[in-house]
A and B are shown apart, each in its own frame.
Chain A
Amino acid sequence: MSGDELRGGRVRLAATFFRVGVMNEMQYRVNFFLQLVQSLLTVGTGLIVLAVVFSKTNELGGWSRPQLLAVMGVFTLVGGIIRTFIQPNMERVVNDVREGKLDFALIKPADAQLLVSIRDVRFWQLTDVLVGLAVLTVALVQLRSTMQWQHVAAFIALLLSGLVSIYCFWLMLASASFWLVRINEVQELFDGLFRAGQYPVGIYPGWLRYGLTFIIPLAFAITVPSEAITGRLAWQPVIVMIAFTAVLLVVSRWFWSRGLRRYGGASA
């Protein structure tokens, strides 16, 4: 089988799972409205906090009001994508390991990592993406003078790379369940830390900033793309970020296969 054919097969497999996942979610149409209300409420609270902050000052850590609004838009957008595609799959890995149901994924003649990463899609979480895009658009309209197409291109590239690094981070968390069977609290920990991403990481003290950059790569997924679209971007972090993402891809896959080996060696 040629490399192209293999890749085509993988894309088709992912597309099939996506289609079936969406059909699954379509049965619960009321969730669309519930999720939409939740997305709007979350963003609404964020906006109130921003308004309070900017009633006292004109900038926060070097970010103007519309720029911070853009960060909030990107934060909501990224959160939506993570909760739609990444989180449900990785949580299912954790559950499957605990309940011994991972066997069904491992016995299939497909790459196990690919398979466990595409099985679930929580389609209605995409309301966050819609709301996030709306907030981002409003922010960009306010910033119009500084918008250029290169910024948009850089934004999209950095956003994708940031999402990949979040995926890698989640994959490593999920792989940890091969050693520590109970990691239920991990999801809440992630959610809590993720909330810190609604502000640029630059406003946090140094230790937290590094943690949110290199341990949980939130800076890469939210702050850096926001810098790109608001025209604040320096090229240095871009290079660091792409290198970091590449390393994470390799490391997380290694960690995953170590976990699988352990599963084969020790599980009952």
Chain B
Amino acid sequence: MAIIEVGDLSKTFNVPVREQGLRASIRSLVHRQTREVIAVDAVSFTIEPGEVVGFLGPNGAGKTTTLKMLSGLLHPTSGRCRVLGFEPKGRPAELLRQITLVMGNRNQLQWDLPALDSFELNRAIYRIPRAEFIALRDELIELLEIGDLVTKPVRNLSLGERMKMEIAGALLHRPKVLFLDEPTIGLDITMQRRIRSFVADYNSRFGATVILTSHYMADVQALCKRVIVIHHGRLVFDGDLSTLSERFTTQRTITARLADGEEITLYTPRAETASATSRLLADHDVVDLTIEDPPIDDVIEQFFADAGDAS
């Protein structure tokens, strides 16, 4: 049975329109003009327990808005969504006890206190039995390698260390569904990699379902077999990462090394790969030859750029 079901989910915001200039500001005091912005537009998908799904899309695509609707923070304008069988809109405690939200750009730990104290607060909020709490806490501390950091005030930690604390704190109640909104934003490569391997570990160890949004393709490549691409609020792709690159790659890169040491790089339309290759082989003395899809980052970027032109 699906753990998350989303059908025709839409969210529209009323955004005040403000013209420039003092006169316009004064006029807007009396008569506020608003404009409707469709942040999420009839999105449908289902997610099975234990899946790790990547949400991809440029800024403002509607990824975070979708996550917030799934966690009950925003109410859908229309459509349905169900998480663990609950409708998130009313923020039922039964649902909230089983989900968690980590936002890479915001912290929820007490700034001036060691993370251990913040963990204690979470224990009180989620009413976790003490023995269970200590066991899981220590396990998370070990997995994240933060043993010597949890007793330091959070303000003294680096960005990456703080993120690890945030993640540990967000998992103490053993949530079944994890919403990770840009968990690696602003972190260096090593730290990104550690967080990634932790999420993968956690997923396999606890069987939790993970929805992850990220700008970093590497996050998605490392963690998610399945990706959902959202653009201008619409779902434009839902499927395997490998299919994504097949679908959106219109070009291939052919690199040939010649007998005289020269290297040639050709970009050809996908359909002409074979003919281009045979021509290359006929005309030159080729020693080595590779045919590649362009990096997934470029694929996505290209795709969004094209879609942007089209709309």
Contact = CB atoms under 8 A, between A and B. Distances in A.
B125 A13 contact: yes
A141 interface: no
Given A13-B124, A264-B74, A264-B75, A20 B113 contact: yes
Contacts of B103: 103
B20 interface: no
A194 interface: no
B207 to A, nearest CB: 21
Nearest to A260: B91
A264 B73 contact: yes
Interface in B54-78: 65, 68, 71-75
Interface of A: 9, 12-13, 16-17, 20, 23-24, 27, 99-101, 103-104, 106-110, 112, 115, 261, 264-268
A38 B103 CA distance: 40
B131 interface: no
B113 A23 contact: yes
Given A24-B110, A100-B106, A266-B13, A109 B126 contact: yes
A23 B74 CA distance: 34
Contacts of A268: 13, 15, 39, 65
A101 B106 contact: yes
A9 B127 contact: yes
Contacts of B71: 107
Contacts of A106: 72-73, 91
Given A264-B89, A266-B14, A20 B72 contact: no
B62 to A, nearest CB: 11
Nearest to A99: B106
Contact of B96 (A9, A100, A107): A107
B101 A115 contact: no
Contacts of A110: 93, 125
Contacts of B264: none
Most chain-A CB neighbours within 10 Å: which of B75, B118, B126?
B75
Contacts of A20: 110, 113, 117-118, 120-121
Given A106-B91, A264-B73, A266-B14, A16 B121 contact: yes
B75 A265 contact: yes
A244 to B, nearest CB: 31
Given A12-B124, A20-B117, 16 more contacts: A24-B113, A101-B106, A104-B106, A104-B108, A106-B72, A106-B91, A107-B72, A107-B101, A109-B125, A112-B91, A261-B75, A264-B73, A264-B74, A265-B74, A268-B39, A268-B65
B163 interface: no
15 contacts: A9-B127, A16-B120, A17-B124, A20-B113, A20-B117, A20-B118, A20-B120, A20-B121, A103-B73, A107-B91, A107-B96, A107-B101, A109-B126, A265-B75, A267-B74
Contacts of A267: 74
Nearest to A268: B13
Contacts of B127: 9
Q: Which 10 A-B pairs have the closest CB atoms?
A: A109-B96, A16-B124, A109-B93, A104-B108, A264-B75, A109-B97, A13-B124, A108-B125, A103-B73, A20-B117
A91 B153 CA distance: 23
A268 B106 CA distance: 15
A27 B152 CA distance: 13
Nearest to B13: A268
A151 B93 CA distance: 44
